[in-house]
Amino acid sequence: MDADGIVVRDLEIVDEIIDIQLPIIVGSTIKLPNLRLPTIGADSEMIGKMGAEHFIERGLREFAFCGFNDSLWSQNRCAGFCRRLAQSGFEAHTYLPSKPKDKRSWKKEQNLTADWLNSLPKPVGIMTCNDYRGRELIETCKIAGIHIPEEVAVLGTDNDDLVCNLCLPPLSSIDINYEYAGYQAAELLDKLMAGEKMNNQKILAQPIRIVPRQSTDILAIDDIEVASALRFIREHCIEPMQVSDVVDSTTLSQRRLYNRFSKAIGRSIHAEITRVRCEKIAQLLLETNMTVSQIAIKMGLCDDRHLSRYFKNEMGLTPREYRKQHGFNILHKRD
């Protein structure tokens, strides 16, 4: 083999590469023998966790996961999703066909999927293992006469712009920083070719954010006043906002809204304002070339130092650290 090192996803040639003692990084979805080889993959635990939190934040109380049982990465995303829900006292329905994808009849599977969808309590948030699975689920909902997002909110994974925007309605999805992980793999492979020992090094592409689209545009909150307060926070998140502003958008006193809000959402009004505003700041950091100072002005904050403290308290990173760590693939696409 005319190579100095290789990144591989094909299990059939792993043994061949090992035999000729070539530096190698293996896709972590490959089930390997007990070898301490470097691997590259996605952080399935965090991907599943992010998906669960997206639905919890929308007030949903019924959840499901739709994926593939013959794919390790799909199983792991499902496990992360279910574990995060369990932490909040919820369970998830799952649909994981056992037959390999190339041996499944789409017509038969679509009928089975429709039966499963009809059996679920509504409204329900369904995370899918990837965007293609999300697209299939949306098409099946149409055939079954199930409304999206009112009855079923669908969340994909990988944020493939073409797939997500061709869906009707457009598919919300989890964006994962694969390109940055690719650069990390190239850096590690260079070190391996220079003599560093292969010792189970792991590279994990991290989920960056949820890209919300119409398929999860739902607030499943039974309390009308709390739903109104949440909508006000989202619609005015770019403006300086106090708890009193949110209270004034409802017909309740501050004490009554505070109690009902905490019961329905599990957070205080102030905590929700901070969370939503920091999500907006994160979006501006990743999707624009605005400086931190410009974002501070846009968000009605005093200066970049004030914004940095505000953002770090919520996100654990300064805006510049966040942009450096998570913004690689966004900026690369824009360039």
Tokens 């996961």 found at: 65
Q: What is the DSSP string of 237-268?
A: TTS---HHHHHHTSSS-HHHHHHHHHHHHSS-
Indicate the SS3 state at residue 204. Answer: strand
What pLDDT sits at residue 26? 83
Q: Which of 19-33, 106-120, 181-195 has the lowest mean pLDDT?
A: 19-33
For residue 328, name the pLDDT band (cuts at 50, 70, 90).
Answer: low
Quick: pLDDT tens for 215-273.
998 887 878 899 899 989 999 999 999 999 999 999 999 999 999 999 888 889 999 99
Q: Which of 5-19, 177-191, 193-207, 269-283 has the lowest mean pLDDT?
A: 5-19
Q: Which long-range contacts (CB under 8 A, 24 or more apart) does 264-271 make?
A: 264/59, 264/221, 264/222, 264/223, 264/226, 265/59, 265/221, 265/226, 265/230, 266/88, 269/229, 269/233, 269/243, 270/243
- The rounded Cα 194 to chain-centroid distance in angstroms is 36
Distance CA 183, CA 305 (A): 31
For residue 69, name the pLDDT band (cuts at 50, 70, 90).
Answer: confident
What pLDDT sits at residue 198? 85
DSSP for residue 211: E
Q: What dihedral do alpha carbons 231, 235, 236, 238 form, nearest 10°?
A: 130
For residue 5, name the pLDDT band (cuts at 50, 70, 90).
Answer: confident
- The alpha-helical segments, DSSP class H, found in 58-130 are 72-87, 106-119
Rg (CA), the chain: 22
What pLDDT sits at residue 300? 92
Q: What predicted TM-score, i.e. pTM, was given to this entire model?
A: 0.78
* Range 289-293 average pLDDT: 93
Of residues 119, 138, 131, 141, the one with CA closest to residue 173: 131
| Residues whose CB falls within 8 Å of the CB of residue 213, separated by 6 or more in sequence, listed in order | 164, 165, 169, 170, 171, 172, 173
Phi/psi region, residue 304 (left: phi>0; alpha: psi -120 to 50; beta: rest), is: alpha
Of residues 332, 307, 330, the one with CA closest to residue 320: 307
Element (H, E) at 175: strand 172-176
Burial 177-211 (b: 16+ CB within 10 A, else e): beebbbebbeebbeebeeeeebeebebbbbbbbbb
What pLDDT sits at residue 219? 80
Distance CA 297, CA 311 (A): 14
Distance CA 208, CA 51 (A): 12
Rounded mean pLDDT of the chain? 88
Find out whether 267 and 275 touch, Cβ atoms under 8 Å. yes
For residue 103, name the pLDDT band (cuts at 50, 70, 90).
Answer: low
**Is the pLDDT score of 168 beyond 70?**
yes
**Is the pLDDT score of 156 beyond 70?**
yes
**Is the pLDDT score of 309 beyond 80?**
yes
* Range 19-27 average pLDDT: 78
DSSP for residue 212: -
Reported as half-sphere exposure (CB side, CA atoms, 13 A), residue 263 has a value of: 10
Domains of the chain, with CATH numbers? 6-41+178-208 (no CATH), 44-175+210-216 (3.40.50.2300), 224-334 (1.10.10.60)
Find out whether 298 and 238 touch, Cβ atoms under 8 Å. yes
First to last CA, the chain: 35
Distance CA 84, CA 45 (A): 9
